[in-house]
Structure 1
């Protein structure tokens, strides 16, 4: 793989640059015009210096006097040329910087948009730290060569002009340039091919280091409470050391080639002076021509390095581009339909018909069929791993079934628009996510039409009005990262209020009240039952009191619906259900005793 990468990195890198030019052709043109102007003026400047030396400086030395008028004219010409070159430099840098930063911003938005389009299953297969690296350092790496690109293209124009002028001056001196510049290009190609696998390795390790760091920070509580600080530090240090070694390898190669790339133009200048002195003695060139050519080689040394900068960054660019494209070309997105639910604003029925689903090669649900009637509360009960959370995800179309259909009323979910789907159903997950923002912002999520009165009404339904009112700044209180200033139960009630503020027609609660007191949970369910406007509710439940409040219970085992009916009916007829509910009740009683004893 590394050999393949090193062989085709130049071609692939040039294709990435071509893509960049197609993305921003106008800005690129501004940069190239400025760079080309600078390059051509540089050639003109070399011949202007040669003319000044040959026609003003040498005669002045021979005659022992200086023509002030000619000297002033020479100074004015040099100043005017410099002003024009400054304009070229400004246009070149403006075009290069503008193009680079626009491309980075554009592709960060595309990557982020793609993240939102891809299903939850795809995100579960990719570490969060790696995804952060894709949107940040990989996008940055992909467009890193854009900064010197207009300069490099302008340098090519300058080289063409330089060769024309060299052959017009003296074909022997031109041959010196014909030997030096191809050698410089060949050295850059060798450098790029050697660098390619090293840059690819370093870029991959950046993503891995980011993933480990994010995971460690995210799991800081577990790490500290389990005393795993040393082990996590060692795990991070191992990857960080690998990244360090990879970057040292990059630096070592750069340290070998950079002096060679810097030396070649200087050798060209020296060769021109030696050959030029010989040609001068033969009378083939004049002093003016020799100075012009020598000065031209001197001023070309720096611009020619721009080509080297582009070629040197191509391996890193290709590595970043490949990682970004892995996201942009990922498949599995769920297309939405064009229909809106006819009964928007009224309780929605939820119906599963022959639904099966699996993660990769592991089947989770098998031919699941049940209905949540409009305006009713249905409890979903089953042992751990029986597929309850998967059913919750399917109910709001976080994932699509492998076979079978999920309906809201008579509309299958894929036929609905994203807006209709989001306006119809809301999921409150077991693990609440709270943004590092105010209570108000966490509840409203900047949704239009959600007033403070709606926020307080949602908090009231979620039994969160009391604790929010006691916060220092009420709705304006910032709750910290992931709601760090709130208890687990408070975070759950806040996320429930967030769902209720959108007035969903179907509310799916995936054990969303597990961290609250049973009395508070009963109050929440009671308020939901009497809420206006009413909503249908599917609740993944464990507590016996919660299950008993439901109008109907669906009992599942190993991904299959075993029975459904009222809580009382299932207790009497399904032994597995009775045993499970009894076990839940016993576990809850033990937890309650532990809380009272603390």
Structure 2
């Protein structure tokens, strides 16, 4: 397995992913708005919790430890602040997750409904040019993959606000802390974008190979009796094994590369915290900030350890969504529709006669399926249409 060594540009991946996201968001705007609102509330709760921890350090912990103030004078305010922030965060999480799940589920349903409705309008000749297994893969795996970015998207939107809020808060505490945070966050986001761009070609190969594996498996099921009668079991088994191993190798490649980037991201986050601690200690010695400010900064950065990875998850899912959407879009753009005549059928109660004269029909120009067919069936008569394979029985009854 040799993945494409030349990744596309950042503009191509991010632009294509954002267009897909915009399409789905436009279809379900209220679900997205609710999810993003919950994500913004969650981001605000994290910033608020770090501010509360800093306030508790300066107004309660230090006075109790250094000045001997009684803990009972501070406990009520501390408990109310902590419980208030916790309830705020819990409500935000429920709102975000419920709305994001609804956004993804409804878009999957809409997409599969469109696929079915569109394929019902296409000619039978189009289906003859397709692999049934591949079409099943499009309806199942590709629709799921193309909408996969929607579940973590609101959370990542909130995390983006959280990153901005973190930089702003640290800058308000001290300009040098803000500079360190800005440089560190920029480096982390750069690594995340680079990971998505690098893995996009590999994801495209995985989606294509999934269709191949599904197609081979479906062909084996359909032709099981023929395969056995011809004694080709080993050949068909080898064919499926080769396709499956190719898919496995592509999945391993993506997994290894993704974990490499994720490990780098996980290492960068505490590294930024260490630099902030070092710079903060120097600023405390200079009298520019208080110890509570350092606690606020470090606590906020510690809470970013997992959320900041959500940006990488979204970019990762976005890179995977593009090839999945391309395969879905290829089916939706098929235009070999059945053209119907201008005569409309009139529904009447009871049985109806069938009467036709000199009927001709073809799926492709010059390849007649029915030629000069005459039908005269009285109302209420039961008639069997028989004939050899390929004589047009199905076409006639349709």
TM-score by length of 1: 0.61
CA distance in 1, matches of 2:185, 2:301: 10
1:103 paired with 2:107, answer: yes
Question: 2:365 aligned with 1:349, yes or no?
Answer: no
- Following the alignment from structure 1 to structure 2, what is the Cα–Cα distance between the partners of residues 380 and 221? 24
* Pairing 1:61–2:74 present: no
Which residue is equivalent to 1:118?
A: 122
What is the match of residue 376 of structure 2? Answer: 374
Question: Which residues of structure 2 form unaligned runs of 5+?
Answer: none
Match of residue 388 from structure 1: 391
1:75 aligns with 2:82: no
- Please list every run of 5 or more consecutive structure 1 residues that lacks an aligned counterpart in the other structure: 396-425, 428-598
Question: What SS does the aligned partner of 1:348 have?
Answer: strand
Question: In the aligned structure 1, how far is the partner of 2:44 from the partner of 2:30?
Answer: 21
Question: 1:11 is matched with which residue?
Answer: 15
What's the counterpart of residue 404 of structure 1? Answer: none
- Closer, same or farther: CA 260–236 of 1 in aligned 2, 3 Å: same
Structure 1 residues 92 and 369 mapped into 2: Cα distance closer, same or farther (>3 Å)? Answer: closer
Question: Structure 1 residues 81, 357: closer, same or farther in 2, change over 3 A?
Answer: closer
Q: Contact (CA 8 Å) 1:9, 1:196: kept in 2 or not?
A: yes
Q: Distance in 2 between matches of 1:56 and 1:44?
A: 17
With over 3 angstroms needed to count, the CA separation of the structure-2 counterparts of 1:136 and 1:343, relative to structure 1, is: closer
Q: How far apart are residue 104 of structure 1 and its match?
A: 1.1
**1:266-322: CA deviation from partner (whole Å, max 9, x where unpaired):** 111111101000011011111121111111111122211111110011121001100
In the alignment, structure 1 residue 90 sits paired with structure 2 residue 90: no
Is 2:40 the counterpart of 1:36? Answer: yes
The answer to whether the aligner puts 1:282 opposite 2:289 as a matched pair is no
Q: How far 1:58 sits from its partner (Å)?
A: 1.2
Contact 1:6–1:194 at 8 Å: present in 2 too?
no
Matched residue, 1:178:
182
Q: 1:77 to 1:160 in 2, by over 3 A?
A: same
Which residues of 2 match residues 512-591 of structure 1 at below 5 A? none
Which residue among 152, 162, 166 is the counterpart of 1:162? Answer: 166
Q: Work out which of the residue numbers 244, 254, 264 in structure 1 matches 2:258.
A: 254
Distance 1:273 1:19 in 2: 43
Where does residue 317 of structure 2 map in the other structure?
A: 313
Counterpart Cα distance in 1 of 2:44 and 2:384: 78
**RMSD over equivalenced CA pairs, Å:** 2.5
The 2-side partners of 1:341 and 1:108 are apart by 29
Deviation at 1:117, TM superposition (A): 1.6
Shift of 1:209: 0.5
Shift of 1:357: 5.7
CA offsets, 1:145-171, max 9 Å, x none?
111101011112222222222221111
The reply to whether residue 135 of structure 1 matches residue 142 of structure 2 is no
Looking at structure 1, the residues matched to 373 and 267 of structure 2 have their Cα atoms a distance apart, in angstroms, of: 78
Q: Does 1:365 align with 2:365?
A: no
Pick closer, same or farther for the CA change 1:299–1:371 going to 2, 3 Å: closer
Aligned to 1:273: 277
The equivalent residue for 1:48 is 52
User: Shift in Å at residue 71 of structure 1?
Assistant: 2.0
Q: Distance in 1 between matches of 2:345 and 2:202?
A: 54
CA deviation vs aligned residue, 1:312-350 (integer Å, no higher than 9, x gap)? 111210011001101111111124456334697123114
| Pairing partner for 1:327 from 331, 336, 339 | 331
For residues 196 and 92 of structure 1, the distance between their equivalents in structure 2, rounded to whole angstroms, comes to 27
CA gap 1:75/1:335 in 2 versus in 1, 3 angstroms: farther
Work out whether residues 7 and 201 of structure 2, in 8 Å CA contact, stay in contact via their aligned partners in 1.
Answer: no
Could you tell me how far apart the structure 2 residues matched to 1:330 and 1:249 are? Answer: 33
Question: What SS does the aligned partner of 2:372 have?
Answer: strand
SS state of the match for residue 120, structure 2? helix
Greater Cα shift, 334-343 or 236-245: 334-343
Q: What secondary structure sits across from 1:283 in the alignment?
A: coil
Are 2:197 and 1:203 equivalent residues in the alignment?
A: no
User: Do the aligned residues in 2 keep the contact of 1:149 with 1:310 (CA within 8 Å)?
Assistant: yes
What is the CA–CA distance in structure 2 between the aligned matches of 1:135 and 1:110, rounded to whole Å?
Answer: 10
Distance verdict in 2 for CA 1:148–1:371, change over 3 Å: closer
Structure having the higher helix fraction is 2
Query: Are the aligned partners of 1:6 and 1:192 in contact in 2 as well (CA < 8 Å)?
Result: no
Distance 1:150 1:342 in 2: 51
Contact 2:356 2:375 in 1 (8 A): yes
Instruction: Select the structure of larger CA radius of gyration.
Output: 1
Deviations 1:89-148 (A, max 9, x none): 000100111111111111111112222121111111111100000000000000111111
Q: State the distance in 1 between where 2:166 and 2:113 align.
A: 42
Paired with 2:339 and 2:186, the residues of 1 have a C-alpha distance of: 52
- The residue aligned with 2:240 is 236
Deviation larger for 122-131 or 214-223: 214-223
CA distance in 2 between partners of 1:104 and 1:280 (Å): 53
Aligned residue number for residue 249 of structure 2: 245
**Partner residue of 2:300 out of 289, 296, 300:** 296
Please, what TM-score do these two structures have when normalized by structure 2? 0.90
Structure possessing the higher relative contact order (Cα contacts under 8 Å, 6 or more residues apart)? 2
**What SS is found at the alignment partner of 2:305?**
helix
Q: How does 1:391-406 map to 2 (within 5 A)?
A: 392=393, 395=396
Q: Which residue of structure 2 aligns with residue 401 of structure 1?
A: none
**Aligned-pair distance for 1:5?**
4.4
